[in-house]
Amino acid sequence: MAKVEPGGSPPHLGFGSVLRRRRARAGLTQEELARRTGISTRAIGDMERGRVTRPQTRTLRALAAALATDEAELRNPLPGNGNDPDRAETGWWGGLLCEPPPEIADLAGREQETATLLAVLDDQRSARSAPVVAVTGAPGVGKSTFLVHSGHRLAGRFPDGCFFLSMRRDGRRSPGHALGTVLRALGVAADRLPAGADARSSLYRSLLRDRKVLLLLDDVVDEAQVRPLLPSNPDCLVLLAGTRGLAGLESVFRIPLDVLTPAHSVRLLAGIVGTERIRREPSASLALADLCGHLPLALRIAGNRLAGRPRWRVADLLRLLGDGRRRLTALTAGDLAVRTAFEASYRECGELARALFRRLALAEEPDITVRRAAVLAEVDVDSAERGLEELVDVGLLESAAGTGRYVLRELLRLYAEERLGAEEPGGEPACTARPRSLPALRTPRPPQPVQCPATEPPVLNTLDTDESVFSE
């Protein structure tokens, strides 16, 4: 897909794109345009999809007459020559507004989830509305990466376009703003956009009525953002990603993402750093994956840091991450940061849930009951349960199935300790005194640094014989 650099010139606008935009601007479906011109619906679809790039002169004349435009605008849609109506009236829009990010080549460990997604699509062939698939999971688990990977893999099934939107742009993106962006990408001029979200949604659904389109929605915050963007055409697909499960949406198939297995974690590191470099230090590589919590974002950052320092051994980074007080700071590479991903989910929570999250850093045990959380946060049990469930909803906490206990992963525990120190110095509540009956509270202790051997120990059998760690 074409891209435009800031300040650069737009690429050539194809005949099919211009025809599709002109038809959308006229408010016509392919069938209606076919009736006006005598050209078959199939032929119009082939032209819009780029399968026919040089139609006959009489075809151009019929299309131009039906669309009330000049034949030259359809025949010669070159940027900068005065014949591009969209550029003249609305700037360079089209599909470039919703261009998906490039594919990530070193994706690891999502084969089962990909197979599940493909199976869902096959099962939805007789659906009456567009299938909706929600990719959920904790911050940093790779939802956006999986979304983009799936979009590129499925693009061939949707010849009328693949549109990507970040729903957290500049905070929380409103449905009306998102609809306006997609409508302009579909060819609707800025001065033809309806004012309200409901009217935009109606126009959007009518334009997609005869198209096969893939809509990728990243960083979805809540159900209200999504509902107006759901097409009624079952030939379309909506694939969305967010930390929340969006339980309020009807007829949604959910694909939860978990952290990677140790083997897939090492494979991801090898894909970034290089297989031979990881092979030389298999034990240190496994230990590094453990300190990253097998979280894809943390692994990618660690891999990027090693790739940027070719003289470092894996053990060098392992020592740096071994100090819990510095681990989150060390897990930063350029604009990628584990702390930033956690913070986005933390800020989504209400004050009760945030206070509970901070106080979970004081627990000695790796998992915790509702009653224990209530004691730590100095709230009643019902309030504690509500707060814990909210933390589960945003991916900051896990619910251990069938046990009534909650689990806080190590990297999130380190972040909770940071927030506790920043917002409640000394571990004291912000507004109330600590009760005398509060048991077993502790000041978070920094983990002991990992002791790395001066030389790499003998190769572990699992890495020495399991070639799957380093291959697809």
In the 3-class helix/strand/coil scheme, how is 363-421 assigned residue by residue? CCCCEEEHHHHHHHHCCCHHHHHHHHHHHHHCCCCEEECCCCEEECCHHHHHHHHHHHH
CATH number corresponding to 98-256: 3.40.50.300
Average pLDDT of the chain, as a whole number: 81
- Amino acid code (one letter) for 243: T
**Burial profile 107-144: b = 16 or more Cβ within 10 angstroms, e = fewer:** bbbbeebbeebeebbeebeeeeebbbbbbbbbbbbbbb
User: Cα(347)–Cα(283) distance, rounded to whole angstroms?
Assistant: 37
The model carries a pTM of: 0.72
User: Cα(440)–Cα(418) distance, rounded to whole angstroms?
Assistant: 19
- Amino acid code (one letter) for 426: G
457, 282 Cβ separation under 8 angstroms: no
What's the DSSP call for residue 13? P
Q: What is the pLDDT of residues 215-260, one digit of tens each?
A: 999 999 888 899 999 998 998 999 999 888 787 888 889 999 999 9
> And the tokens for 108?
């690891």
Choice between 328 and 152, residue whose per-residue pLDDT is larger: 328
343, 375 Cβ separation under 8 angstroms: no
Q: Any idea where the domains of the chain sit in the sequence?
A: 15-91, 98-256, 262-323+451-470, 348-427
Q: What is the pLDDT of residues 25-71, one digit of tens each?
A: 888 888 889 899 988 887 788 788 776 666 777 788 889 899 988 77
| Strand residue runs (E) in 222-311 | 237-242, 252-256
User: Is the model's pLDDT at 140 over the cut of 70?
Assistant: yes
374-to-355, 387, 413, 434 alpha-carbon distances in Å: 11, 10, 17, 13
Q: Which CATH number fits domain 15-91: 3.40.190.10, 1.20.1250.20, 3.40.630.40, 1.10.260.40?
A: 1.10.260.40
User: Cα(194)–Cα(145) distance, rounded to whole angstroms?
Assistant: 33
Query: Across the strands, what pairs with 162?
Result: 214
257, 141 Cβ separation under 8 angstroms: yes
CATH topology of domain 348-427: Arc Repressor Mutant, subunit A (1.10.10)
pLDDT of residue 126: 65
Which range of 75-79, 94-98, 267-271 scores highest in mean pLDDT? It is 267-271
pLDDT of residue 157: 85
82-to-87, 343, 430 alpha-carbon distances in Å: 9, 48, 63
125-to-71, 154, 209 alpha-carbon distances in Å: 39, 15, 16
pLDDT-derived band at 106 (thresholds 50, 70, 90) equals: confident
Q: What is the pLDDT of residues 282-325, one digit of tens each?
A: 999 999 999 999 999 999 999 999 999 999 999 999 999 999 99
The helix (H) or strand (E) run that includes residue 134 is: strand 132-136
